Structure 1
């Protein structure tokens, strides 16, 4: 509820500072991590965290995924489509009625969200969806169904987007929480605006990125118990992301 409220108040024009939103989200994540529990310690083969470090890191991961989902929620079908694929692969990895219910609910949402955008997730929906995905992936890892790196590999696009955005803003000496129009999806949207008028650049942006991300998600599912393969896949995605970002940024400058 705290995760949802942190965004829903914003949707109702009760503006919260980024700091206050992070506090609410951290409290909500901490409650879930302690009560379930969802303290992820084993990140083999790289490291194994002691409980005192694993607890805040688990909270950080959940809050990070929630915010990552909100960052990519800007075009029809983008956040919803990416999440639908993630839920589908999670269900294939470990059939679960809750995951199936989330999948069906999101499918119903996408019918009205894509391609015309008749309804939206809003900040509240995006935060909650990202949080549920993160918590479910951590749960699968703790049950030994998948490697701890499977969650990052499956959600590598939104996570890369949020981390790259923070790094980019820091290099420009801007606040990490300051919004801008320099995300990968916004640069792609600008390049697609030059296409024929009968094409919807908003829907095309979401569809293009979801389809481009699909092969990485599929391979991550196939390698869900193989941490070395997942780490290699993550590195490959980041490389492709940076190359595509540089290309789109160059096109935008030329335009």
Structure 2
């Protein structure tokens, strides 16, 4: 497991280096090509390729060592591939729409649900739990839950190191709880993918030499979703609210963004904009802290602040992983803190011109 994780790091770092050094324009993300672009020069957005290949070749190490986990590991890789592939093609061509990518994600989610038996079996709420006895309901809910979290990591991927750092903290939490419950399959995948993320991270943060891309974000989101569901399903001691608490930042960011776009701004829920919490931090708080408008410094400074907010969910999830009521309270606390911070910035920090455009 340790050797596979190290190998994942080495392969990921090597692939990212090759892309940066020899193929930067093949995966190029143009400057200011969209509403959520903050980089200053064309940058390859294929860091996910390094992470995926690192994970893939780590599987070869498990195969050579004769690991008893290797069969399940390759089923996981096969399940994750459609979501990763759909995102990677978009990274390369810029021509794969949101609906088409969502179909790829649904294929991955359905495959994992069937082949890995990664299905939601409870919510630790008595009235709702009875619904999961109806298998079609459980299946449909699971597929869309996996798809939702897969997209959520992509939504928070706004600045250097942001999505990667959040994913690392969530995966470490999942790995820790898996270790406590002697689940070496979930533990192994978590550590191997953390190794792959770190191989990408050293080039992405702080200077943004390469970006995660849709392929990478989808792969990480899919992984977090599937491992979380398996952890709860296979271990009754783990609260069903552990996955919600540990990933509450990307989950709530997504749900709040849908609400904000649909009901406040009266636009499409899938339309990109510049009013995510991380963007508001970049525009206001970080600018004030650094006393500069230079994005070279503001971009990487934004991520640690959001990482800190993310830990409001992660730390309690790790400590109280088997305490449903406490986890519910911390989820509620996160929602209150996030919402208060968001509207405080909107009401008092943004210029009137910007505020009128957003609300």
1:84 maps to 2:179: no
Can you list the C-alpha shifts for 1:161-217, whole angstroms capped at 9, x where unaligned?
A: 111111111113211111111111111110123433488111111111102222431
Is 1:193 matched with 2:287? yes
Go from structure 1 to structure 2 and tell me whether the alpha carbon gap of 1:160 and 1:215 turns closer, same or farther (over 3 Å shift). Answer: closer
Maintained 8 Å contact 1:41/1:54: yes
Deviates more, 1:42-51 or 1:238-247: 42-51
Distance 2:199 2:141 in 1: 33
How far apart in 1 are the matches of 2:300 and 2:342?
19
What does residue 253 of structure 1 align with? 351
Task: Provide the rounded CA distance (Å) in 1 between the counterparts of 2:259 and 2:115.
Answer: 33
Counterparts in 2 of 1:1-255, with a 5 A limit? 1-46=81-126, 47-48=128-129, 49=132, 50-95=134-179, 96-144=187-235, 146-171=238-263, 172-191=265-284, 192-194=286-288, 195-197=290-292, 200-250=297-347, 251-254=349-352
Cα deviation 1:96-130 (Å, max 9, x = unaligned):
22211111221222121111111211010001111
- Conserved 8 A contact 2:312-2:334: no
Q: Which moved more, 1:61-70 or 1:2-11?
A: 2-11
Q: What is the alpha-carbon distance in structure 1 between the residues aligned to residue 94 and residue 311 of structure 2?
A: 36
Contact 1:140 1:146 in 2 (8 A): yes
Tell me how far apart the structure 2 counterparts of residues 141 and 253 of structure 1 sit (CA, whole Å). Answer: 45
Deviations 1:224-247 (A, max 9, x none): 111111111111101111001001
**Does the 8 Å contact 1:153/1:233 carry over to 2?**
yes
The aligned length equals 255
Question: Per the alignment, in what secondary structure is the counterpart of residue 41 of structure 1?
Answer: coil
TM-score (norm 2): 0.68
Distance 2:312 2:158 in 1: 22
Which is higher, the Rg of structure 1 or of structure 2? 2
- The alpha-carbon deviation at position 69 of structure 1 amounts to 0.1
CA distance, structure 2, for counterparts of residue 253 and residue 53 of structure 1:
46
Give the distance between the partners of 1:162 and 1:39, measured in 2 at CA.
22
Pick which of 166-175 and 54-63 moved more: 166-175
Once the two structures are superposed, residues 134-153 of structure 1 have per-residue CA deviations (whole angstroms, 9 ceiling, x without a partner) of 10111111111521111111
Q: What's the offset of the Cα at 1:14?
A: 4.0
Q: Please list every run of 5 or more consecutive structure 1 residues that lacks an aligned counterpart in the other structure.
A: none
Post-superposition offset of 1:13: 2.1
Structure 1 moving runs of 4+ over 4 Å: none
Partners of 1:14 and 1:115 lie apart in 2 by 25
User: Contact 1:41 / 1:51 at 8 angstroms: preserved in 2?
Assistant: no
Partners of 1:32 and 1:59 in 2: CA distance: 9
Q: Is the 8 A contact 1:45 1:227 kept in 2?
A: no
